[in-house]
A and B are shown apart, each in its own frame.
Chain A
Amino acid sequence: MTDIMQVDGLTFRHNDKKRWLKKPEIFELGPIDLTVQRGETIAIIGENRAGKSLLAKLLVGAIPADEGVIELNSHKYLAKYNQLNSQQKRTHDIRMILQHSSESMNPSVPVGRVLDEPLRLNTKLTEAERKPLIEEMLTKVGLLREHYYFYRHMLSDGQQQRVSLARAIILRPKVLIADEPFAALDPSIRSQTVNLILKLQQEMGMAFIFISHNLGIVRHIADRVIVMENGHIVEEGKTETIFRWPEHAITKKLIVAYQSLITTNTIGE
Chain B
Amino acid sequence: MPQFSLYEEEFHPSPWQRTWVAFRSSHIAIGGLILLGFFVVFSVFAPIVSPYNPAEQNIDSLLIPPSWETSGSITHLFGTDPLGRDVFSRIIYGCRTTLGSGFLMVVLAMLIGVSIGTFAGMLRGVRSSIVNHLLDALMAIPTLLIAIIIVAILGTGLVNSMWAITLALIPQFVHRTRTFVRAEMKKEYIMSSKLDGANRWQLFVHSILPNMTEMLVVQGTVALSIAVIDVSALGFLNLGAQSPLAELGAILGNGLDVAYLAPWNVALPGITIFLLVLSINIVGDGLRSALRKRVSH
Contact = CB atoms under 8 A, between A and B. Distances in A.
B237 interface: no
Interface string B8-31: 110010010000000000000000
A117 B295 contact: no
Contact of A107 (B198, B202, B295): B295
A145 interface: yes
Contacts of A106: 189, 193, 207, 210-211
Nearest to B208: A106
Given A108-B213, A117-B206, A151-B295, A91 B196 contact: yes
Contact of B198 (A103, A121, A142): A121
Given A107-B211, A109-B210, A144 B6 contact: yes
A123 to B, nearest CB: 11
Interface of A: 60-62, 84, 87-88, 91, 95-96, 98-100, 103-109, 113, 117-118, 121-122, 139-140, 142-146, 149, 151-154, 164, 167
Q: Of residues A100, A106, A154, A164, which shows the largest number of chain B Cβ atoms within 10 Å of its Cβ?
A: A106
A142 B191 CA distance: 25
Interface of B: 1-2, 6, 8-9, 12, 15, 187-189, 191-199, 202, 206-207, 210-211, 213, 294-297
Contact of A142 (B1, B192, B197, B295): B1
Given A91-B196, A106-B210, A146-B8, A121 B295 contact: no
A36 B1 CA distance: 33
Given A98-B188, A104-B188, A153 B2 contact: no
A87 B197 contact: yes
Nearest to B293: A153
A98 B210 CA distance: 21
A147 to B, nearest CB: 10
A167 B192 contact: yes
A145 B195 contact: no
Given A103-B188, A108-B295, A109-B206, A60 B12 contact: no
Contacts of B193: 106, 117
B297 to A, nearest CB: 6
A15 to B, nearest CB: 14
Contact of B196 (A122, A152, A153): A122
Contacts of A60: 195
A175 B206 CA distance: 26
Contacts of A121: 196-198, 202
A99 to B, nearest CB: 8
Nearest to B212: A108
15 contacts: A87-B197, A100-B188, A104-B192, A106-B207, A106-B211, A108-B210, A108-B211, A118-B196, A139-B1, A142-B1, A142-B2, A144-B6, A146-B8, A152-B295, A167-B192
Q: Of residues A96, A98, A117, which shows the largest number of chain B Cβ atoms within 10 Å of its Cβ?
A: A117
A113 B193 CA distance: 11
Contact of B189 (A62, A103, A144, A146): A103
B212 to A, nearest CB: 9
A231 to B, nearest CB: 21
A121 B297 CA distance: 31
B64 to A, nearest CB: 55
Contacts of A100: 188
Contacts of A61: 195
A269 B73 CA distance: 98
Contacts of A107: 189, 211, 295-296
A98 B295 contact: no
B191 A62 contact: yes
Contact of A62 (B187, B195, B199, B294): B195
Contact of A144 (B1, B198, B207, B294): B1
A224 to B, nearest CB: 25
Contacts of B197: 87-88, 91, 118, 121-122
A99 B189 CA distance: 11
Q: Of residues A108, A122, A142, which shows the largest number of chain B Cβ atoms within 10 Å of its Cβ?
A: A108
